[in-house]
A = this chain, B = another copy of it.
Amino acid sequence: MIIVMALEATPEQIQAVVERLRSIGAEAHVSEGQKRTVIGAVGDRGLIQQLPWEAMDGVERAVPVLKEFKFVSREFQAADSVIDVGGVPVGGGHFAMMAGPCAVETRDQLMASAEAVKKAGAVILRGDAFKPRTSPYSFQGLGEEGLRYMGEARELLGMPFIAEVLDPRDVELVSEYADLIRVGTRNMANFTLLREIGRQEKPVLLKRGFTATVDEWLNAAEYIYKEGNHDIIMCERGIRTYEPSTRNTLDISAVAVVKRLSHLPVIVDPSHSGGHRFLVAPLAKAAVAIGADGLLIDVHPAPETARVDGEQALLPDDFAELMDELRKIGNAVGVTI
């Protein structure tokens, strides 16, 4: 931590900071500049970062040098993590295409979509039973019935599935059925939910909050890791900006930033970030080229009847065509899709 003293800070105020650092066993390196004094705090990061330095008299600001997260960082583990999702490896060079309908609506709709994505080459099936909706008047999902249909599709097609959980009380239920638990963008900072998920054994896909910084996102992963669940896949899905032509702005740079800071795999959701069907294929291609470890794509047999997010779902044929294009880009960057 670097503690920058105010211009008018007195020697007593500087001394008080130095002594407070010493009181927690940390060292204080004092630099007196022409205008300001700056104090470098060296010691236990956890202890130092928790104290309200900016509340001390004479302190202008405190600048952290180290990140708050530890276990999910490259410093802690240099090699890429590879996560096993029901037998499918994700990360460390293993690319995983996850696809299916946004929400499970009926058994037939799910099966039509599942067969199509399997045939085109997807390896993990998506389809939610619980949906978080901005309006209380929107379709909220089929609940456990939806999970049962997903289970059936898994048996039939031999592919693991991913499903979202919204409520800490449903974590046990969803983790009994699903192979990969999803934390949605609106719940990335729902620490109660994160802790509960950290205590069960299924791997988890952690979507970035659409207004979270990369650091906050990695701190959210740290919550899960710290509880004992180390099987975490990060998923970039667009952030909220002022630009209205897309639903969110896909922060494609975040893939490279997270891979630099962390050993966890990172995938991209091009469907929810763009919010328009015409953007799915271009964004998916960019994601493969930049080195994402997978994709999460909405595919629906009849998007114009979808109860959730139909405007961004691909048709099965478009998805199959996209898979062909992605394979070529995968070859160019040394990844097998």
Q: Is A144 an interface residue (CB 8 A)?
A: no
Partner of A168, one of B57, B167, B189: B167
- Kindly report how many copies of this chain are found in the complex they form together: 4
Are B311 and A52 touching (Cβ within 8 A)?
yes
**Could you say which residues of chain B place their CB within 8 Å of the CB of A169?**
168-169
- A325 and B290 alpha carbons, distance in the complex (Å): 11
**Could you say which residues of chain B place their CB within 8 Å of the CB of A278?**
256, 260
Are A135 and B328 touching (Cβ within 8 A)?
no
Contact status of A304 and B32, CB under 8 A, knowing A68-B137, A242-B241, A251-B249: no
Who on chain B is nearest to A292 by CB? B286
Q: Please count how many residues in chain A sit with their CB below 8 Å of the partner chain's CB atoms.
A: 107
- A257 and B274 alpha carbons, distance in the complex (Å): 10
Closest Cβ of chain B to A32, distance in Å, is 7
- A40 and B132 alpha carbons, distance in the complex (Å): 29
Interface residues of A in 257-282 (CB under 8 A from B): 257, 260, 273-274, 276-279, 282
Partner of A289, one of B36, B242, B256, B285: B285
Are B211 and A211 touching (Cβ within 8 A)?
yes
Q: Can you list 17 A-B pairs, Cβ within 8 angstroms, ordered by A? A: A29-B31, A35-B75, A52-B309, A133-B191, A134-B189, A136-B219, A136-B226, A168-B169, A211-B242, A214-B243, A244-B244, A245-B253, A246-B257, A250-B252, A252-B286, A289-B329, A329-B333
